[in-house]
Amino acid sequence: MELVERMLKGDRLALAKLITLVENRSPEISNIMARLYPHTGKAHVIGITGAPGVGKSSLVDKIIASLRKKDIKIGVIAVDPSSPFSGGALLGDRIRMQSHATDPGVFIRSMACRGHLGGLAFATQDTALLLDAFGYEIILIETVGVGQSEISIAQAADTTVLVTMPSTGDTIQVMKAGIMEIGDIFVVNKADQEGADKTVVELETMLMLGTQTRDWTPPIVKTIASNGEGIEELWDRIQGHKKFLSQDSRLKERHIAQIKGEIHNIIAEKLEKRIWDGLLNDARFAQLLEKIESRELDPYTAVEALWEALK
């Protein structure tokens, strides 16, 4: 495939076009991935997640600036809320990151959630593989930070950074047990605001109660993304986690878990499409819809009947 060959030679436009094919779930995906997969496995994938308004985009912007000073090439996937009408990303590439748009060592791509469970764009893992194959050493994935996106991002990332801000009383409450467990590093951003130290203590307490079974104790870093304070310490902590993963077979185990998740997603996508396309072309399905609309039947019973028919 010509686009793949061009991308492997460093053509950024070819990379962008391949990402579009992946995002639109082109039939060419299998061929693209078969050609590119041997060139992957070198990048460190970092997830940046947390509730809306905690300053994730500002943090990512400062991380990019810091890493570029070290001559590290970075790919960024920014997962945006999507329009229910167009299916496209509403926010576009984050405005705060645009200062890096002309830097050849940085590639930023916004992706729409398209209603996918967990808020993470369905094609995010494939896009990360494309960026990896292109030669980006660090891949940052920033999620929307709503619903179960925090759980989804852990599946795609080697290191997950969970961002919060000084508590207003309910910030920590939002961090349910499942969310706390996926954080490898915790960041209290906007640390110049009142309550930052209190939030750190609350996090330390929750982590103490919930990490007895983990080999890794998640560090807590205070940052002020607006002026870059704490960014170097955060990078040191990320490097520390990467070193931790490189010991024994931890990174391999995490990658196998990621691959299992990706295979699950591919199977689910193919099954859903096959079943749904079949139903849309089946006159009996139209009859079921009529019965549901007239309240002769409920959707759950209808699905059970359809499922039995498929067995």
User: Which residue ranges make up each domain of the chain?
Assistant: 2-248, 264-310
In the prediction, which pLDDT does 111 show? 80
Please name the amino acid found at residue 291.
K
The token pair that represents 58 in the structure block: 């500002």
* DSSP helix/strand/coil, 218: coil
Q: What is the per-residue pLDDT for 6?
A: 97
Can you read off the two tokens belonging to residue 221?
Answer: 């870093």
Residues 220-275 have pLDDT tens digits of 999 999 999 999 999 999 999 999 999 988 899 989 988 888 888 888 888 888 88
Q: Over pLDDT 70: what percentage of the chain?
A: 81
User: At 52, is the pLDDT very low, low, confident or very high (cuts 50, 70, 90)?
Assistant: confident
Which residue, 47, 54, 78, 97, is CA-closest to 144?
A: 78
Residue 81's pLDDT band, with cuts at 50, 70 and 90, is low
DSSP secondary structure letters along 212-244: TT-SS---EEE-BTTTTBTHHHHHHHHHHHHHH
| pTM exceeds 0.95, yes or no | no
CATH fold for the domain made of 2-248: Rossmann fold (3.40.50)
What average pLDDT does range 121-150 have in this prediction? 83
3-state secondary structure of 183: coil
